[in-house]
Structure 1
Amino acid sequence: MPKEVVLPELAESVVEGEILRWLVQEGEALKKDQPFVEVMTDKVTVELPSPLEGVLLQKLVKEGDVVPVHAPIALIAEPGEVTAPISDKKPSPAPSVQAQEERSIVEPGQVAEDDGANLSLFKPDGKPEQIKNPFTQVAAPSAAQSTPVAGASGRVIAVPAARKLARELGLDIAQIPGSGPHGRVRVEDVKAYAQGGTQAQPTTPETIGPKPPATGFPPPVQYKPPKGYENLETRVPLRGLRRAIAQQMSASHLYTVRTLSVDEADLTELVALRERLKLEAEAQGVKLSYLPFIFKALGVALKKFPALNSSLDEARQEVVLKHYVNIGMAVAAENGLIVPVVRDVDRKSLLQIAKEINELAEKARSGKLAPEEVSGSSFSVTNIGSIGALFSFPIINVPDAAILGVHSIQKRPVVNERDEIVVRQMMYLSLSFDHRLVDGAEAARFCKEVIRLLEKPERLFLEAL
């Protein structure tokens, strides 16, 4: 019997993936572990291997669809299995948000498609595996559920369409009260929360009818081409990496109180030190840029100013102070910005950091990053100076508390302590921070500590981490 292939859980925090490209067409033979579909999750593109040998009988989703983890994506027939003729029709369009929700409502005794735990990669078509129902352990709430309800897996109970809409709007699904069965968050709940933070009412005959005008967030601006220019535009679907970037930037804009602090550093001594060490690093096969020195300085400064190395857990109203330094670095890839993470910067040598920076940057540009290599940052850096901008206002990589923009090193005239005008190697630093977590004075002191270490780089080898 043909078997259903589902989207596997590719990483702990991944809840959905976008189908970028089918590598095998319907009717074509498949070998076990042969890549058959390309999926993007959290800015990382992966090729899924076939879980078994056979024939790709049917593609259940089309390119561009966003699919929740554990949702079926294809049917595969085993070798020698008699199958019906392959249909020539194209995959049906993805159901509307409302249709997805209606299909996803779960009554007691049923299994939710996206909330079940430990689903295998495939299951017999038409014969769901016997999986422990997470909802049998959840007491039925009243019609006016006041808070989101978590399933046995710990995730908030929500239909896939509502979870997708919340991500697109930059909303935390854990904050949205659900009005569906068992407190399930519905599409209407997400819309109501976005428009004014209120809860949608359960659909009953009494609630059907004219609704008052919405308040709160205005609807998105509807784009219309200028009259007479309708045929002079090209439309490109918002998909893949560009869609992931748009969602991340929207979340940063909506859910941080972003503030900017700008300072400058005299890197004349650092430029000289790097020049002396560059050839020795190359002899060990490592390209030594200025970025490893900056990461090393951040490893020291973040231990002294832990608020800059924190996150806000809004669902539990707790500030999370991190006892590790994982620095995300913005890399300009061909299709957009990617932020791979250098882990445990505070415990690595200068050359180790340099080597990892080079390797991750190359992986980012070639599209070979693994999901775990773009998650888990505690602070971020954007090296806009490599392109040449004077200074910038970086966007915080949520859920980090701050991001440091480092800019080009330029020779500029500076007045020294003897009132002499001298030429020095100067660089601007721009620190964006979430003012809910970091006070302005603390941000300024943090920048001064980073500058202190960079201006006298030998201190980097003396400071205890």
Structure 2
Amino acid sequence: MMRDLTLPTLAESVVEGEILAWLVEEGDIIEEGQPVLEVMTDKVTVELPAPFGGKVIKRMVSVGDIVPVHGVLAQVEEILDGVVASKPETTQLAPSPTPDAPTQESEAEIELDAERSIIEGSAAHQSDPNKAKAAFAGFSRGGKSGAAAVATKPAPAAPQPVAAQPTTKGLSETTPAPGQVRAVPSARRLARELGISIAEVLGSGPNGRVRSGDVHAHASAPASAPVQVQAPAQMQAPLPAKTSSTDWPPPAPPVYRTPAGYENRETRTPLRGVRRATSQGLLAATLHSAQTHTIEELDCTGLMALRDELKADAQKQGVKLSYLPFFLKAASLTLREFPAVNSSLDTASGEVVYKDFVHLGMAVNTEGGLVVPVIRDVDRKGLLTLAREISELAEKARSNTLKPAEMSDATFTVSNIGSVGSMMGVPIVSPPAAGIMSVHSIVKRAVVVEENGADVIAIRPMMYLTLSFDHRLVDGADAARFLKKVLWLLEKPSRLVLGD
């Protein structure tokens, strides 16, 4: 029988993957467990094994395509008892509802889920419209919100005003919640390229979904004859002359255009792989959290002395002892004292989650871009154990062999931007984590210190530490106290051993 090979759920926060390479051709006979294609997500690059054996009849996606989780990758005719079955029946990997047995999740919701992007995230498709309305309270599109922002495709001969429904009844089934626009990814991409706000485009697809043709039609429509949506008589109001500054989402930034005469002096490469995943992830982080930061200055005299003292013992055990294990340990002990910095916001339930564990991400710069492997239970591990895991994960990151589980569940992140010579930087928090700390270059500077009860100017090895945090979860005072405690531990790093 014919079966669909689909993109599995690789991690809780992964909603799509980019096809990097096919490892089989159409017509090939594959075995269960055989790698069939290479996929990159915002977490990691993996080879997907076939969950069953059979003959590859048709590859449904190409290299470079973006496929949602549970999207169909290929059609495979399953082999039963050593014989390729010829029954033309499509079998799902999981039971699917029949027309006579509808489930709570409608066909429109399934289609919408399949087309969502990383930037929208899972919270944008909550089944409860009231949660979505609350999340975007105070924002609207062109003076319209809810069902009033949706219209059907006009007749080709002469577009006619279409009455909008002033109620939000059935919003989760037939209309997008406030702050959402239903559009296929290609339409969103085209709108960005043309400098058009996707919110202004009238969709012709199911439930008002915007397609690429709708974007083209909007771009070519005469400015003097816009298609209008007319509300019922009791709700009619003049359309605004221009987009309000409070509209959501905001208009897209201007599209880059090559200066005339410089066409042959540019090199273009597709936004793909780690760079694309990083781009979307960081944009989503800034859109869906209230980010700010605080900065402190660390005197590294004691830290450098202790590291020099322990380096020889670490080398005897085959471990390279860098400064990073000290920072991870200091952060993990401090997170236990300031649980808000180690918390997350569960947007689905409206609850703040405080964790009794510390899993730290460490940013690693690779040839393909930035990746963040995760070390688990850092607060329960010693410096040499941390140093060993740091080396192992960094090597896996650079060789592109990390597993999804090794890049998931970070409760906080430490970024060592000082390794490339940066004096100071402000990192971006990646929700659902509430904070990230960056460490920078050690630079000798003249500072005022106390010696024998008197203030003197001395040359000391100094470093800036930056804590970026989500202000929805962490108060500024707690963030400042958190960073002060990290400094207190690192300026006398023997305290790390005591765990004070």
TM-score normalized by structure 1?
0.78
Q: Return the letter of the residue paired with 2:475.
A: D
SS at match of 1:47: strand
CA distance in 1, matches of 2:436, 2:174: 33
Once the two structures are superposed, what CA deviation does each residue of 1:368-427 show, in whole Å capped at 9, x if it has no partner? 111111111111111000000110011112221111110011222222213222222211
Flag the 1:128–1:379 CA change in 2: closer, same or farther, 3 A: closer
After TM superposition, give the deviation of residue 236 of structure 1 in Å.
Answer: 1.8
**Residue 321 (structure 2) pairs with residue 291 (structure 1):** no
Correspondence 1:58-457 to 2 at 5 A:
58-77=58-77, 78=79, 81=84, 125-128=89-92, 131=95, 133=97, 136-138=102-104, 151=105, 158-161=109-112, 164-169=115-120, 172-173=123-124, 174=126, 176=132, 183-184=172-173, 190-191=180-181, 210-211=228-229, 215-216=247-248, 217-417=250-450, 418-457=454-493
**Residue 4 (structure 2) pairs with residue 4 (structure 1):** yes
Q: Return the letter of the residue paired with 1:191.
A: V
After TM superposition, give the deviation of residue 57 of structure 1 in Å.
Answer: 2.5
Between 1:17-26 and 1:261-270, the stretch displaced more is: 17-26
After TM superposition, give the deviation of residue 26 of structure 1 in Å.
Answer: 2.0
Contact 1:43 1:245 in 2 (8 A): no
SS at match of 1:436: coil
Over 6 Å off, 4+ runs? 177-182, 185-189, 192-196
Flag the 1:126–1:220 CA change in 2: closer, same or farther, 3 A: farther
CA distance in 1, matches of 2:340, 2:34: 46
Identity %: 48
Flag the 1:81–1:202 CA change in 2: closer, same or farther, 3 A: closer
The equivalent residue for 2:499 is 463
CA distance in 1, matches of 2:93, 2:349: 34
After TM superposition, give the deviation of residue 54 of structure 1 in Å.
Answer: 4.2
Q: Return the letter of the residue paired with 2:427.
A: P
The equivalent residue for 1:86 is none
After TM superposition, give the deviation of residue 195 of structure 1 in Å.
Answer: 7.8
Contact 1:262 1:428 in 2 (8 A): yes
Contact 1:327 1:345 in 2 (8 A): yes
Flag the 1:167–1:220 CA change in 2: closer, same or farther, 3 A: farther
- RMSD value over aligned CA atoms? 3.3
CA distance in 1, matches of 2:356, 2:108: 31
CA distance in 2, matches of 1:283, 1:242: 39
SS at match of 1:235: coil
Flag the 1:240–1:331 CA change in 2: closer, same or farther, 3 A: same
Q: Return the letter of the residue paired with 2:464.
A: Y
Between 1:248-257 and 1:311-320, the stretch displaced more is: 311-320
Q: Return the letter of the residue paired with 1:41.
A: T
After TM superposition, give the deviation of residue 35 of structure 1 in Å.
Answer: 1.3
Once the two structures are superposed, what CA deviation does each residue of 1:11-65 show, in whole Å capped at 9, x if it has no partner? 3443332211112222334343221200112230110122344443221111122
CA distance in 2, matches of 1:203, 1:409: 56
Between 1:215-224 and 1:42-51, the stretch displaced more is: 215-224
The equivalent residue for 1:148 is none
Q: Return the letter of the residue paired with 1:11.
A: A
Q: Return the letter of the residue paired with 1:69.
A: V
SS at match of 1:191: coil
Contact 2:21 2:37 in 1 (8 A): yes
Flag the 1:236–1:51 CA change in 2: closer, same or farther, 3 A: same
After TM superposition, give the deviation of residue 231 of structure 1 in Å.
Answer: 3.5
Contact 1:260 1:430 in 2 (8 A): yes
Flag the 1:276–1:329 CA change in 2: closer, same or farther, 3 A: same
Once the two structures are superposed, what CA deviation does each residue of 1:194-216 show, in whole Å capped at 9, x if it has no partner? 988xxx99669xxxx62467633
Once the two structures are superposed, what CA deviation does each residue of 1:148-203 show, in whole Å capped at 9, x if it has no partner? xxx59xxx98344556445235683235479798934767972279988xxx9966
Contact 2:175 2:207 in 1 (8 A): no
CA distance in 2, matches of 1:438, 1:129: 43
After TM superposition, give the deviation of residue 311 of structure 1 in Å.
Answer: 1.6
CA distance in 2, matches of 1:312, 1:358: 31
After TM superposition, give the deviation of residue 294 of structure 1 in Å.
Answer: 0.8
Q: Return the letter of the residue paired with 2:172.
A: G
Flag the 1:429–1:185 CA change in 2: closer, same or farther, 3 A: farther
Give the gaps of 5 or more residues in structure 2.
134-145, 148-168, 184-196, 210-226, 230-238
Give the gaps of 5 or more residues in structure 1.
84-122, 139-150
Q: Return the letter of the residue paired with 2:485.
A: E
SS at match of 2:90: coil
CA distance in 2, matches of 1:60, 1:170: 24
Flag the 1:358–1:2 CA change in 2: closer, same or farther, 3 A: same
Flag the 1:130–1:296 CA change in 2: closer, same or farther, 3 A: closer
Count how many residue pairs are aligned between Structure 1 and Structure 2: 404
CA distance in 2, matches of 1:344, 1:14: 23
Contact 2:17 2:41 in 1 (8 A): yes
The equivalent residue for 2:47 is 47
Q: Return the letter of the residue paired with 1:456.
A: K
Once the two structures are superposed, what CA deviation does each residue of 1:68-109 show, in whole Å capped at 9, x if it has no partner? 2222211234466498xxxxxxxxxxxxxxxxxxxxxxxxxx
CA distance in 2, matches of 1:32, 1:322: 39
Between 1:379-388 and 1:172-181, the stretch displaced more is: 172-181
SS at match of 2:277: helix
Q: Return the letter of the residue paired with 2:410.
A: S
